[in-house]
């Protein structure tokens, strides 16, 4: 009888631990993938060194967080800047914490494209949107509401699908 009770207590404790670990993992997953419902009051830096405050636009917009030394990020920059704008009316922002001179060099081939490169010097915006992988792309409505977050590389068709129809 005593042995049966010990086994039941051990199984109960094990089940409780499994539930606790599952809850913690689920909580962190949700926290990582949540999207805030408004644009934060965080200042970024334009390539010319002037401040840029994220604002609501008159059309949908896309933030893509990149690292210039990331091959996948560079592919994403090329794909988004050359194809996305042709498909839909959208503003595109490439955001990085790298120094401005590095971003200027990266942006130079895209001067004729309607994209903007911004520096997130303090990485506050990256932390606000829980960016943990590069590239990370977030699609916003024209009201500034985040619609979809893509961690890692994403097929352009998925971005187009996430963009609202005008």
Taking only the tens place, the pLDDT of each residue in 15-42 is 888 888 877 776 665 555 555 556 677 8
pLDDT tens per residue, range 124-142:
999 998 999 999 999 998 8
Please give the structure tokens belonging to residue 16: 């409780």
Q: Are strands 136-140 and 61-65 parallel, antiparallel or unpaired?
A: antiparallel
List the pLDDT tens digit at each of the 166 positions of the chain. 788 888 888 887 888 888 888 777 766 655 555 555 566 778 999 999 999 988 777 889 999 999 999 999 999 999 998 888 788 889 999 999 999 999 999 999 988 778 999 999 999 999 998 999 999 999 998 888 899 999 999 999 999 999 987 6
Tell me 113's DSSP state.
Answer: S
| Cα gap 42→28, rounded to integer Å | 24
73's CB contacts (< 8 A; 6+ apart) are: 66, 67, 134, 135
Structural contact between residues 143 and 56, judged by C-beta atoms closer than 8 angstroms: yes
Global pTM exceeds 0.85: no
Please give the structure tokens belonging to residue 6: 């010990």
């Amino acid at each position: 009888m005593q042995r049966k009770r010990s086994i039941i207590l051990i199984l109960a404790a094990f089940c409780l631990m499994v539930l606790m670990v599952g809850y913690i993992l689920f909580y962190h997953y949700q926290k990582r993938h949540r999207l805030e419902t408004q644009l934060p009051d965080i200042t970024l830096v334009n390539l010319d060194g002037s401040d840029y405050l994220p604002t609501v636009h008159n059309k949908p917009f896309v933030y893509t967080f990149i690292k210039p030394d990331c091959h996948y990020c560079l592919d994403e920059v090329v794909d988004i800047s050359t194809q996305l704008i042709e498909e839909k009316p959208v503003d595109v922002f490439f955001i990085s914490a790298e120094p401005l001179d590095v971003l200027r060099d990266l942006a130079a081939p895209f001067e004729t494209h309607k994209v903007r490169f911004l520096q997130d010097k303090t990485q506050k915006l990256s932390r606000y949107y829980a960016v943990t992988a590069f590239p990370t792309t977030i699609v916003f409505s024209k009201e500034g509401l985040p619609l979809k977050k893509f961690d890692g590389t994403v097929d352009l068709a998925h971005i187009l699908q996430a963009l609202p129809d005008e």
